[in-house]
A = this chain, B = another copy of it.
């Protein structure tokens, strides 16, 4: 059998050489028929043939312990010995139990050893990724919130240029389950195609070619994640952009890759670091206007965060500049799973590229232009993570400031959520955490996903005066703003939450609370009669705080 297998492998290697030569010499871009060896062996082959009158080899029983022997049950030890002797150990070992020199000589040396071969230790082959200057993609947000923009559309331009810059190195690819366009990364196709090696029938097919850096022609998150994992393990860079909720079908694959990263780092230090696995969750729970409730599951972030966060990053950039800065950091990193939760719909743009860079490098930051605490102890802290949470919180600050100009509000945007985690090597110290969030002032935390994760992050900190507004599993096919209202993540609920949590303002805030209730009722009726959001919501713009 071994000789047969060796001969078959030789044959196959030559076939592969021929295919490659043909493709090169004749510029043949058609899909070759790669050889495949189908090797069917009996389950438990070479194991004990039978036990207790029933077949072991070739049956499901080979999956179990074939001969029941352990330190407390030695009565069948002779049968175990007889079986093990069938492997003829006397041909392999000398009388002292040492491997015979002629056998030892077979063992490969150096990089011919399986795990030392660079093909299996891909980090050895990694070439630095060439990245453009992110300032070239900056939206001018000096006038905060004045312009709308689609974050993913802007990221598409950065990705297009990464493809161009690394064309010769062939070490960058993107994956999507037929969603690269609907996730708004279309700019990438200005310079590349979706790779597709079957026949192409224009005009019903589009953007396909035998060579391309985007793999997007299968609606299979499993294939995408699996191919990206494999690509990373060869030492190359890539990303997988998916609808947020559909990522849940690869929960287990991400877990296994995380476990691999962790063990590779902690148990096999001879492994060279490989590029990170980058997952973009676009088309999120709050951006499912026509898909609705079935498409809403923002829990991928909690799934990853309950593991060892040393190997996990969870980024929630609130605008395009932040997203480009996050991606620029993630794509160059090693040995991580980077989850990036990204907005694709036109949304207000908030931060200058300079602000975005600081938010990404520090993980979070106080936004001076949205704060009224003037460096003093605030009455209330607004914290935000994500696109809609940030817009709604800014609108809530506006409303509060209009009514209570003396109220001291601190506004914090969090991009790198797991910096808040205490038992993580990168986590803020308690002193830093308290400096940002105070030890006891109310924190109104507007958050993209399920409330629970933020509660766990605060649990190990001093300040438990936390009021999280996240996705509360309320959804339907409804208006964009109504999705926020249903989950109490909208500006009006946030204003109420802040007033109710801030004792000095609870009583004098009664009329404002009442006003919020009224406008929520108006919203309820308006969307049902008009089918669109209230004009005062749709047309709202940030104005500089006095």
Binding site for B on A (CB under 8 A): 54-55, 58-60, 71, 178, 203-206, 245-246, 248-249, 251-252, 255-256, 259, 262-263, 293-294, 297, 299, 302-303, 305-308, 450-453, 455-456, 458-460, 464, 466, 473, 532
Contact = CB atoms under 8 A, between A and B. Distances in A.
State the copy count for this chain: 2
A303 B301 CA distance: 11
Contact of A459 (B54, B245, B455, B473): B455
28 contacts: A58-B204, A59-B205, A60-B205, A60-B206, A245-B252, A248-B251, A248-B252, A249-B249, A249-B252, A251-B251, A251-B252, A251-B303, A255-B299, A256-B294, A259-B293, A259-B294, A262-B473, A302-B302, A303-B303, A305-B452, A306-B452, A307-B473, A452-B456, A455-B460, A456-B456, A458-B459, A459-B459, A464-B464
Of A59, A248, A458, A464, which is in contact with the most chain B CB atoms at under 10 Å from its CB?
A248
A302 B450 CA distance: 11
B299 A303 contact: yes
Contact of A255 (B71, B297, B305, B306): B297
A411 to B, nearest CB: 24
Of A58, A59, A206, A251, which is in contact with the most chain B CB atoms at under 10 Å from its CB?
A251
Contacts of A251: 248-249, 251-252, 303
Nearest to A458: B459
Given A297-B255, A302-B302, A452-B453, A473 B308 contact: yes
Contacts of A450: 306
Nearest to A305: B452
A262 B273 CA distance: 45
Contact of A204 (B60, B204, B458): B60
A308 B299 CA distance: 13
Contacts of A54: 203
Contacts of A473: 262, 307-308
A115 to B, nearest CB: 18
Contacts of A206: 60
A460 B532 CA distance: 36
